[in-house]
């Protein structure tokens, strides 16, 4: 299925650079003014258009709005941070490495049925990628990481080769994709006039149990959403000089 961009009018959003400049991690949210949960849904729909490794989309957003019976329990497991207890909605970003087979199969079937103007050679290469290479990269069994690293090392002696093929590197790749989507979501929330706070301080084991998550899933972050209050911004923004972060060769 080809996913279309969410229908947002210009009057509903601010410009990209305005959203980036004004986005802050807000730790106290307004409890009084009405909150439009549909705008959170729109931001999530935009987030899943984010770039991700091999288009596998090995992540999941779980919404826990203020009306949910789980909201207070989840806030408790976020160490009762104000960003959680005052949030009008909590969004749990979950990595789903365990879904790689179904995601790869979905891409494979899409390529088979696609009618784009592409050569048969390109189509076969894409089918081989999802039918052959992805299973080799994402499969898990004892000793396979060592074998993959040995293959990468051997091939790399003769030509450029991807080196990050071990289990830890694959896990990192999945979290990177989830984080990209999470950042798109947070910018989308800011663009429609609300605020967010991404949190890493939570009891992941208990959160997984509370949300009945699979053993193969991991929590990337939990994001508090709402209309931020001025006191929820703890001081002026600080960043080191851009010259320390941006270079050119």
Residue 14 banded pLDDT, cuts 50, 70, 90: confident
Instruction: Examine the pLDDT at 146 and tell me if it is beyond 50.
Output: yes
Q: Cβ distance 233 to 202 under 8 Å?
A: no
Query: What pLDDT score does 118 carry?
Result: 78
Instruction: Examine the pLDDT at 2 and tell me if it is beyond 60.
Output: no
> Mean pLDDT across the stretch 181-210?
98
Residue 6 banded pLDDT, cuts 50, 70, 90: low
Torsion angle, alpha carbons of 64, 69, 70, 76, to 10? 110
Query: What pLDDT score does 157 carry?
Result: 98
Q: What 3-state class would DSSP assign to 44?
A: helix
**pLDDT tens digits for range 104-119:** 999 999 999 886 777 8
Q: Which of 124, 120, 99, 114 is nearest to 214 (CA)?
A: 99
Task: Indicate the pTM of the whole model.
Answer: 0.92
Instruction: Examine the pLDDT at 246 and tell me if it is beyond 70.
Output: yes
Distance CA 101, CA 40 (A): 29
> Mean pLDDT across the stretch 214-228?
98
Query: What pLDDT score does 13 carry?
Result: 67
Give kind and range of the element (H or E) at residue 59.
strand 59-65
> Mean pLDDT across the stretch 158-180?
97
User: Cβ atoms within 10 A of the Cβ of 196, count?
Assistant: 28
Measure CA 105 to chain center: 21
Q: Cβ distance 166 to 139 under 8 Å?
A: no
Percentage, residues of the chain above pLDDT 70: 94
Residue 120 banded pLDDT, cuts 50, 70, 90: confident
**pLDDT tens digits for range 208-219:** 999 999 999 999
Query: What pLDDT score does 10 carry?
Result: 45
Instruction: Examine the pLDDT at 5 and tell me if it is beyond 90.
Output: no
Percentage, residues of the chain above pLDDT 90: 89
Mean pLDDT across the chain, nearest whole number? 94
Of 8-12, 14-18, 106-110, the least confident: 8-12
Q: Cβ distance 112 to 130 under 8 Å?
A: no
User: Cβ atoms within 10 A of the Cβ of 154, count?
Assistant: 10
Q: Which residues of 35-62 are buried (b: 16+ CB within 10 A; e: fewer)?
A: beeebbebbbbbbbebebebebbbbbbb
As a residue count, the chain comes to 249
Q: In what order do the strands lie in the sheet containing 218-226?
A: 59-65, 89-95, 218-226, 195-199
> Mean pLDDT across the stretch 3-29?
78
Residue 56 banded pLDDT, cuts 50, 70, 90: very high
Instruction: Examine the pLDDT at 9 and tell me if it is beyond 80.
Output: no
Q: Cβ distance 208 to 70 under 8 Å?
A: no
Handedness of CA 184, 187, 193, 196 (dihedral sign): positive
Residue 1 banded pLDDT, cuts 50, 70, 90: very low
């Amino acid at each position: 299925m080809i996913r279309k961009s969410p229908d947002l009018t210009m009057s509903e959003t601010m410009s990209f650079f305005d959203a980036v400049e004004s986005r802050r991690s807000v730790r106290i949210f307004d409890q009084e003014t009405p909150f439009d949960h549909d705008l959170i849904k729109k931001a999530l729909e935009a987030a899943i258009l984010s770039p991700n490794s091999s288009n596998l989309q090995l992540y999941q957003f779980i919404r826990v709005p203020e009306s949910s019976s789980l909201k207070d329990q989840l806030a408790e497991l976020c160490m009762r941070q104000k960003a959680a207890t005052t949030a009008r909605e909590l969004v749990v970003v979950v990595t789903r490495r365990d879904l790689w087979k179904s995601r790869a199969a979905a891409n494979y079937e899409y390529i088979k049925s696609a009618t784009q103007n592409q050569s048969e050679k390109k189509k076969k290469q894409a089918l081989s990628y999802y039918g052959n290479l992805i299973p080799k990269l994402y499969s898990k069994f004892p000793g396979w990481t060592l074998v993959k690293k040995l293959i990468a090392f051997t091939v790399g002696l003769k030509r450029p080769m991807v080196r990050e093929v071990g289990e830890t590197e694959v896990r990192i790749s999945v979290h990177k994709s989830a984080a990209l989507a999470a950042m798109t979501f947070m910018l989308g929330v800011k663009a429609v006039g609300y605020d967010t706070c991404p949190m890493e301080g939570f009891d992941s084991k208990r959160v997984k149990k509370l949300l009945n998550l699979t053993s193969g899933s991991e929590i990337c972050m939990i994001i508090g959403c709402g209309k931020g209050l001025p006191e929820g911004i703890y001081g002026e923004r600080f960043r080191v000089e851009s010259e320390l972060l941006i270079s050119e060769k």
